[in-house]
Amino acid sequence: MKDETHPGQTKIVCEDITKIFIQKGKQRVHVLDHISLDVKENEFVVILGPGQSGKSTLLRIIAGLETPTEGRVLLDGREVEGPGPDRGLVFQGYMLFAWKTVMGNVEMGPKLRGVPKNERREIAAHYIHLVGLDGFENHYPHQLSGGMKQRVGIARAYANNPQVMLLDEPFGQLDAQTRYFMEKETARIWETEKRTILFVTNNIDEAIYLADRIVTMVGKLPGRMDVVYNVDLPRPREHTDMAFLKLRHEITEASELTL
Amino acid sequence: MVDIANEIQQQVRERKPLTPAAMLKNRWFLYGVSLMFFFVVWDSSARMFASGLPRPHEVVLQLWRMLFDPLAGKSLLGHVWASTQRILIGFTIATLVAVPLGLMMALNRYVNAIVKPLFDLLKPMPPLAWISIAILWFGIGETSKVFIIIIGTFVPCLLDAYNGVRLVEPELYDVVRMLGGNRRDEIVQVCFPAAFPAIFAGLQIALSIAWSCVLAAELVSARSGLGFIIILGMNLSRPAMIVGGMVVIALVSWGMSQLVSVLERFVCPWKREIDSP
Ligand SMILES: Nc1ncnc2c1ncn2[C@@H]1O[C@H](COP(=O)(O)OP(=O)(O)OP(=O)(O)O)[C@@H](O)[C@H]1O
Ligand SMILES: [Mg+2]
């Protein structure tokens, strides 16, 4: 990892996080087991794990939507106590407001924070352009394809100018081609607007293509952290690069993920 | 960003040449055929059964006459308005109380705990069961009829508002909170708009129940309204009058339901394209 890109400033610290859900009927579901993770400023970290390994739960804890049973999350050294606009979350299932247009969805963050109309329209237009949706400002979500919906989700999160972006399998429901295209777009957007990114996926290729650092998780509850890989490949990356394939082979061998 | 053009699903509607095959698939053509068939069957059965069933043109003539010759001091339009007015008053009162109450029940568990048991107790009772007691309480005037309509429309209005909020995807609230919103924003930005379609579905159901209620109330006792026309037709043995009343009820009820649809499309513009065939 070249250190100029990340001058070492630590952005997020997960300190020994354990999560146990108590369901109705007193059933305990142990979902996360002693997760510790540091993310540096402007670093692109991918959490790679199979289904049901607690990836979404970890992201929701960092987002402040769930509280950890043990441990804590620090953002810029301060403990996270609830959700807030300093973190942007992109949901696994899009979660757009069906009753708002693309513009209405993207400007929601600034609107909720009381930014005046003209100003927030400008901000929203900027991010709609960034995700390549010019001309679709007045479309409703049901008029968009899956890939476009997730672009709106990404633009909506960015429009609040969060310091940290949390993406939960954002392209999990897309076909392979659109997915590949969206990965390129994600890399492009990250180059244009540097942010600290935590990106969850179950796809090895997606992880290697995007990440500075890959944190793998072991499946079967409770989810635990496994090997961490530094990805030193130059960008933009090629899926067919020898180094790419070598890393892919290495991760596949070491983890239960095969694809 | 060339790929985006491929991502949008385009809906291009072409004008097709008017071949017999295309005509058979045309919606309006089929509507016409269906209606025509109905009237032909109606007319031929009426001719066979002679007196029991009036022929279509007799019904039209009867309605035409009633437009100008008053019955019990009111022309046909007067009677239409009498029924419509009862529905508008009852329906409006029920909606204004039941919809906010349903929303509050869904949003606040204390309100829910207080209202729900009472509501569950009264819910299964058919509104028409209230007619006799309503007449005892309020006499045979307007109040008892409006009361029946309120009783009948209250249930669907409240239930659909309640369920509309209950069925909102909970992660949408998370979205609002992540973007920096508070509880009030969750309600205004998510709860209400997400519940609107369900509320309107409830209004549509309530409207058709309102017509059943007003009719039943008018059949029991009234000096005006479409139910009165039907009863009068029965007493005078004039089938054309009865069927005429039925036809007018269908038309007015359909018109009101269209009005609610228009209002819905105005309030929920995002649904416009989903609904249209
Ligand atoms: N609120 C909750 N109450 C009880 N159990 C929960 C809750 N949320 C999640 N779980 C459980 O935690 C486990 C892990 O869920 P999570 O969504 O974090 O996994 P995931 O790795 O994101 O899976 P996927 O790849 O399918 O999205 C699941 O078995 C789920 O049943
Ligand atoms: Mg998940």
Q: What is the ipTM of this complex?
A: 0.89
CA B14 to ligand 1 centroid distance, Å: 48
Q: Delimit the CATH 3.40.50.300 region(s) of chain A.
A: 1-86+164-173+182-259
How far does residue A80's CA lie from ligand 2's centre (Å)?
21
Q: How far is B1 from chain A (nearest CA, A)?
A: 6
**Among B178, B189, B196, beta carbon nearest to A83:** B178
Query: For residue B201, is it within any domain?
Result: yes
pLDDT of residue A23: 85
CATH assignment of the domain containing B202: 1.10.3720.10
CB-CB contact of A230 with A45 (8 Å):
no
Q: Is A31 in the pocket of ligand 1 (CB under 6 A)?
A: yes
**What's the pLDDT score for residue A256?**
65
Residue B260 structure tokens: 């609610």
Which pLDDT value is given to residue A4?
47
**B143: in domain:** yes
Inter-chain CB proximity A99 and B273 less than 8 Å: no
- The answer to whether B50 contacts chain A (CB < 8 Å) is no
Tell me which of A91, A94, A112, A161 to substitute to probe the interface with B (most B C-beta atoms closer than 10 Å). A112
Put simply, whether B275 touches A (Cβ < 8 Å) is no
Per-residue pLDDT, A13: 92
Q: Is the pLDDT at B27 greater than 70, yes or no?
A: yes
Taking the Cβ of residue A24 and every Cβ of chain B, the question of whether any pair is shorter than 8 Å is answered with no
Q: CB contact, 8 Å: A145 with chain B?
A: yes
Pairing mode, strands A10-22 and A224-230 = unpaired
Does any domain span residue B22? no
Reported as a single tens digit per residue, the pLDDT across B84-124 is: 999 999 999 999 999 999 999 999 999 999 999 998 888 88
Q: Please report whether residue B44 resides in a domain.
A: no
pLDDT score recorded for residue B22: 76
Q: Per residue in B165-185, is it b (16+ CB within 10 Å) or e — as a string?
A: beebeebbbbbbbbbbbeeeb
CA–CA distance, B173 with B111 (Å, rounded to integer): 21
pLDDT digits (tens, 9 = 90+) for A15-40: 999 999 988 877 888 899 999 999 99
DSSP string, B59-74: HHHHHHHHHHS-BTTB
**What are the backbone dihedrals phi and psi of residue B5, each rounded to the nearest 5 degrees, phi first?**
-60, -30
The protein residues having their C-beta less than 5 angstroms from ligand 2 (an ion) are: A 56
pLDDT band at B143 (very low <50, low <70, confident <90, very high): very high
Coil vs helix vs strand at B253: helix
**Above 80 in pLDDT, residue B73?**
yes
Q: Considering only CB atoms, which chain B residues are within 8 Å of A97?
A: 172, 175, 189-190, 193
- Whether the upstream peptide bond of residue B156 has omega within 30° of 0, thus cis, is no
Residue B6 has pLDDT above 60, yes or no: no
**Calpha distance B135→B220 (Å, rounded):** 10
Taking Cα atoms as reference points, which of A126, A198, A192 lies closest to residue A156?
A: A126
In 3D, which of A196, A209, A199 has the Cα closest to residue A251? A209
Cα(A228)–Cα(A250) distance, rounded to whole angstroms? 12
Report the residue among A22, A31, A65 best suited for mutation to probe ligand 1: largest number of ligand atoms under 8 A from its CB.
A31
Residue A42 CB neighbours (<10 A): 17
In this structure, how many other beta carbons lie within 10 angstroms of the beta carbon of residue B248?
Answer: 21
The candidate with the shortest Cα–Cα distance to A196, out of A49, A57, A38, A48, is A38
Q: Residue A44: what pLDDT?
A: 93
Angle between helices A55-63 and B170-178 (to 10 degrees): 40
pLDDT grade for B259, boundaries at 50, 70 and 90:
very high
A144: chain B residues, CB-CB within 8 Å = 7-8
Residue of B89, B94, B106 lying closest to B161 (CA atoms): B106
Element (H, E) at A63: helix A55-63
Residues B18-22 have a mean pLDDT of 74
Q: Would you state the CATH architecture of domain A1-86+164-173+182-259?
A: 3-Layer(aba) Sandwich (3.40)
Instruction: Tell me the CA–centroid distance for residue A53 and ligand 1, in Å.
Output: 7
Q: Does A178 touch chain B (CB under 8 A)?
A: yes
Q: Which residues of chain A have pLDDT under 70?
A: 1-8, 256-259
Q: Does B193 touch chain A (CB under 8 A)?
A: yes
pLDDT in tens, A173-204: 888 888 888 898 888 888 888 899 999 999 99
Question: Burial, A9: exposed, middle or buried (Cβ in 10 Å; 0-12, 13-18, 19+)?
Answer: exposed
Residue with CA at minimum distance from ligand 1 atom 1: A21
Determine whether the interchain pair A109/B180 forms a contact, defined as Cβ–Cβ distance below 8 Å: yes
- Which residues from A are below 8 Å from B268, CB to CB? 99
Residue B270 Cα, gap to closest chain A Cα (Å): 5
pLDDT in tens, B164-214: 999 999 999 999 999 999 999 999 999 999 999 999 999 999 999 999 999
Q: How far is CA B157 from CA A43, A90, B66, B201, in A?
A: 52, 35, 35, 9
Mean pLDDT of all residues in chain B? Answer: 87
A69 pocket-lining for ligand 1 (C-beta < 6 Å):
no
Contact status of B183 with chain A (Cβ, < 8 Å): no
| Mean pLDDT confidence for B219-237 | 90
Q: Give the β-pairing of A28-40 and A10-22.
A: antiparallel
Nearest to B179 among A93, A112, A148 (CB): A112
Range of the domain at B200: 65-275
| Least confident segment among B16-20, B119-123, B155-159 | B16-20
Domain count, chain B: 1
Flag whether B157 is in a domain.
yes
CB neighbour list of residue B38: distance below 8 Å, 6 or more residues apart: none
DSSP B16: P
pLDDT exceeds cutoff 50 at B5? no
Q: Among A35, A57, A166, A173, say which to mutate for ligand 1: greatest number of ligand atoms within 8 Å of CB.
A: A57
